[in-house]
Amino acid sequence: MADTEQKKKGLGSVVINAERCKGCGFCVEFCPTHCLELSEQYNAKGYHPPVLTLPEKCTGCNMCGLLCPDFAIYGFLFKKKKK
Ligand code: SF4
Ligand code: SF4
């Protein structure tokens, strides 16, 4: 599975390195806006990586990145457009 970066919908988004993931679910459980779910698909190690199922709710807070033991996900804020 390739790294995924979602299209711009919310304030921020996440980058997921699915192959690093061990499917612990910390990111899903502790995301403050509950915008992640574990995928039904498996990575090469046989774990279910997270997917951003509600991208419009992601704030880019990076709580998922702080909690992930395997550095498999991080959140970021979209840059504001210059006027
Ligand atoms: S960056 Fe924050 S809001 Fe977005 S998925 Fe991670 S924990 Fe949830
Ligand atoms: S916290 Fe990290 S290792 Fe655990 S499910 Fe989320 S991305 Fe995978």
Considering only the C-alpha atoms of the chain, give the largest distance between any 2 of them, rounded to a whole number of Å. Answer: 46
Ligand nearest the Cα atom of residue 47: 2
Q: Is 75 in the pocket of ligand 2 (CB under 6 A)?
A: no
- 36-46: pLDDT as tens digits: 999 999 999 99
Ligand nearest the Cα atom of residue 33: 1
Q: Is 62 in the pocket of ligand 1 (CB under 6 A)?
A: yes
- The answer to the question of residue 83 being in a domain is no
Q: How many domains does the chain have?
A: 1
Q: Which domain holds residue 24?
A: 4-77
Q: Where are the alpha helices (DSSP H) in 1-83?
A: 26-30, 63-67
Q: Is 51 in the pocket of ligand 2 (CB under 6 A)?
A: no
- The answer to the question of residue 35 being in a domain is yes
The pTM of this model reads 0.88
The CATH number assigned to the domain holding 50 equals: 3.30.70.20
Cα of 72 vs centre of ligand 2, distance in Å, is 6
- 8-58: pLDDT as tens digits: 778 999 999 999 999 999 999 999 999 999 999 999 999 999 999 999 999
